[in-house]
Structure 1
Amino acid sequence: MRLKIILLLIGISSWCKAQNNTDDYMRNLDKLVKLDVKAKPVSEVLDRLSKTGGFFFSYSGILFNQDSIVNVSATNMPVRDVLDRIFDGKVAYKEMGEHVILRYAANHLTIEPENISSNEKSYQISGYVVDKRTGQAVGKASVYEKRTLDGDLTDDKGYFKIRIKGNHTMIILTASKEMYRDTSLVFLSDIKIKPEGYRDKNDEKGSFFFNTIEKSGISRFFLSSKQKFQSLNISGFLANSPFQASFTPGLSSHGIMSSQVINKGSLNIIGGYTAGINGVEIAGLFNITKGNVIKLQIAGGFNGVGGSVEGVQVAGLLNDVRTGVKGVQVAGVVNHVKEDVEGVQIAGVTNITFKGFRGTQIAGVANISPEKTKGTQIAGLINYTAKEIDGVQISGVGNIALKELSGVQITGVFNYAKQMKGLQIGLVNISDYNTGYSIGLINYVHHGYHKISISTDETINANIALKTGNAKLYNIILAGKNHGDSAKILTAGLGFGHDFIFNNKLSVAAEITGQYLYLGNWDHTNFLNRFQANLQYQVFKGITLFAGPVYSTYNGTEGSAEKGYQQRVAPQRAHKISSGIKGWMGWNAGITLM
């Protein structure tokens, strides 16, 4: 049995509802504009109007003759009324975001069936999709039955053929095409076989599909042009099904309609292409999902999701999600999320989250978050957060927080935070503002301490020290030399200090330093540790005098120095702490420049 029909479409956006000039209040269409043009092409007039109103027009090139000459004069007139003058009611309009969609007026829509016949077992429906206004064939248009999920894509001549099995008493064919209004043809009566349910763009609840995943490089490679046209044409149609199976996206139990169906179960031998998952989806190589994934998605290669993920997503190589994730992501190489993540991300190489992150990120190489992060980042190489982080960053090489750190940074090499309000532990710690604690070889605070101290003490008569950090905790890098014909000492060391500030003039510095003493050879380990409390008085800005008691401990071999070097470091009054270690009270005094 064969049924031949012709579906006649008019040019409007496929995702607009069937409305005309009486649409509800629309912000751009109600804007008041001033326009005065004479004998100008309609395309130029529309361009001026869009610039004046601060929006964009979208329309099919066959909607009207763009070279038609028009005259328009309007002062403080709504955009809607200006369009009425230009098109004299022959064009309808609809606002979508920053765009005003121009389309044929609703009364131009007609459907003309050619012939109908049937038998009891199956139906084969063939026909053509044409443009009513131009009479031309419409290629790459989708023709489908919403409840049986049978469909086809027209060829360049507008021809389609659909085979529907079963004993049905009603079939509704819908034709859809981007920039055209959907057209439906009803024949027979009361269909008996249907999936669990479907919604389309005209339902009260409506539905929204994410086509962004189809624009990714991987999706473009694995999806055919026919599948992408189908998804674009009927982006507003959504059906539910308990299960689907596919070998590849083109060989699916739902056929060409697979991209419009949300499944509870999905098994893809190589790869699958679905509207969404509310259950479990498993693929040998890849899963491409236009909408949302709920519960579990597993792929040997990659998962590409245009919507969000709520549950667990596992991929051997890549998880790519174009909105948010709430749950767990595990990837052998990369987890990539365009919006918020709340949960756990684990990647062999990199986790990339473009908006806020809450939870734990673990990556073999890097964790990258351009927005605020709250939780823990652990990476073999580097952690990077472009804004605030409230939590912990741990890495082998570096941690970067370009805004504020309220937490902890621990690394083997360097830490950076613009505003450091927590704790940094690393070889080099850098910040612009620091009200926390930085522990490392070099602690640099741009708006903090940059002091140079020159001092003398009972052991070494000339010392110089660089102090960087802040009052809570500053780093000390020191060097010194004891001058004398028979008592030379060369020394270098590190230390930490804390300032107890009483007022703008007076403070006490508590400092701990450890330094190596060179006594003419490297054969012995000679270490001097000092615990000192210096009373500091600021004479005037940039000059501070200090002095105070020191308790020193020395671990070295007495009498091991070369000729000309100090043979006895510990003074005669020193007391024995343990074998080879002596301690004594001493002093130091000096001046600080800052």
Structure 2
Amino acid sequence: MIITYTSLPKFVKLILPVILLITGSMFAQAQSLLVKRISASFDHARIADVLQEVGKKGGFYFAYNDKLLPKDSLVTFTVTNQTVAGILILLFHNRYEITELKYHIVIAPPRPNLSFNNTDITNENNSYSISGLVVDERSGARLANVSVYAKQQLASTLTDEHGYFQLRFRADNPGQISLTASKLDYKDTSINFLQSVSVSSRQQPSDHDRAANNSRNVERTGAARFFISAKQRIQSLNIPDFFAKRPFQVSLTPGLSSHGLFSPQVVNKFSLNLVGGYTAGVNGLEFGGLFNINRMNSRYLQLAGVFNLVGGTVTGLQAAGVHNRALDTVKGVQFAGFINKAESQVSGLQIAALDNEAHKLKGIQIGLVNRVDTSYGASIGLVNVIGNGFYRVTLSANDLTNTNISLKTGTHNFYTDVLIGVNLAPASKLYMGGFGLGHDFMLNNKVYVSTEAAFHFVNDNGTWDSHLLQGKLLFNVQLSKNISLVAGPTFNRYINSIAFHVSGYKNINHLPKAEDVVGIPPDHTSKNWVGWEVGIAFNSVFKRSLKEVDNSDAWYLGGGATAGIGWDPQKAVYGTELFTMRDLGEHIAGTFTVGYTSFGQESYLGPQPIRLIPVKAGVRLKTGSSFFIGGEVGEAFGLFNQTAYSGIYPYEAATKPYRSLMYAVSAGFSFRRGLETSFTFEDYGLQSNYKQFALRLGYRLKLSK
């Protein structure tokens, strides 16, 4: 029903102006306390007395918490025809929040501010998507249940438990989009987005013009400063905006090119850098024996033995033996032996043995460690540091092992899980280690269901050859911000590596003892069943680190000692090493190491320890103030002879010196005064048992800078 003025009864029409006049006067009076003008003089007066006198002259009262104000502090001042608001500023210098309530002026502590972080907006056919984080401006803590809304578009959402939001709406030519965040006990904050303007002309600006500024960024990186000559950098400053196109170029090193010093101004369809080269870009194929450096874009295929560095966008495939880096976007595949990095967005795939990093991910990452500010895709690795994601440490028990710990990292949409399990029982030992993938179905902020699939290596007989395939349906109930209960069924398929039971280990498949086996046993047996798991989890988020660009170029010399345990059999391993390291900038360092490792087990030819000399080279990536991850590859030389077959007589054994490719991965802490400590895994031969898990303690000296 709609009520209009003409439809009102006659007596209501008569009294309505009076009602409006009275209520309007009351409202004006309630809103005018702070603008009342007062004259007063105070000499060494208590603040409490000043407030009482000002309130008395203005005809109102002050309301405040006794513990909030320094009411016994003494002040001296004189005001003539000054507003109440001006007097309060004189007293408190805007340290408190002042509000009016009827005949009271309320003095309260200031409300903290909200802040938007990592905010991103996309527009496709007038469909807008805005995402980001809302944090406490002072502490940086992420805030849940913050209302985020666009007033003009009447669209709103709430941040999740990690402070992340995503707001979608449609708008035709909105001009300016204003986004506001509001939360109880916080001040509102807003951020404005201006609509992008597309300008059409007969001659569109080229990619070269749009990416010209990236060349300056390329030349500021540690790798470019090391390999690019001063003459080339000066020419880039002198000729920043001129670029040419040629069908091909050949370089020995940067500067020794078929285009000479003009090479950084030329985009080529085919580029061959025998050692390395510095060009404006490639629009076809580029191959570098050691490295490729492009001022702007790389399109279609770029290959390097050690590293690729691109100042603009990578489109297609970028592959390197050690490191790929794009200062803008990757649209395709980055494949590296150790590290991939994209300063902006990855729309495609990043694969690295050690570390992948991107600002925004709309694709897949596969690596030991994956780092993303905002993810709309999937990161598959042992540790995934996701800006809009989480990490979850779970301590649990199940029907196989009574002590389990797992680390889940990623987003609710997709996360990975590293699992370790032990059955602590002297007569039924069992050890497990595995990797899993999962997805959370969010029922609400307090309850969600985790679906997971995992693969485990199992030691149920002294070796790690048995396997467990597992599916989980786990219910999570959030007890507090960081603590939750976890419980649910598991679906298991267990495969034994041998068909008899080893004494002292848990007999999962109810196998007979070795002496009770009749005939030739099968290679393995399997069992399927439904089990259970219950535990408690700690949930939190990774704090975003504000990393400073590191352009140092120092040399280091150091040494270290290792102590660990072998893969099979599990016997003591110890060793020493001597290493050199050079900072390459952007928190990356190159390493070269020569060591000595002794396994406490017998070789094929007798009761002599297995002694190895590993020679390896690699990279180290510093991910925080002191934490680092590293990877190395090289050759292991044995101080013993291995058994081999001559090929002339099938059963005639011969010996030859041991030699094999090897690799190592590590994670640890490198402190400013030179001390280092880390955990490392080293594999001295893929087809051998010469592998170790070790703790390493080292010390380094800075030689120069």
Structure number with greater CO (CA < 8 Å, separation at least 6) is 1
Q: One fold, TM greater than 0.5?
A: no
Q: TM-score, normalised by structure 2?
A: 0.38
Report the structure number with the largest CA radius of gyration.
1
The TM-score, its normalising length taken from structure 1, stands at 0.44
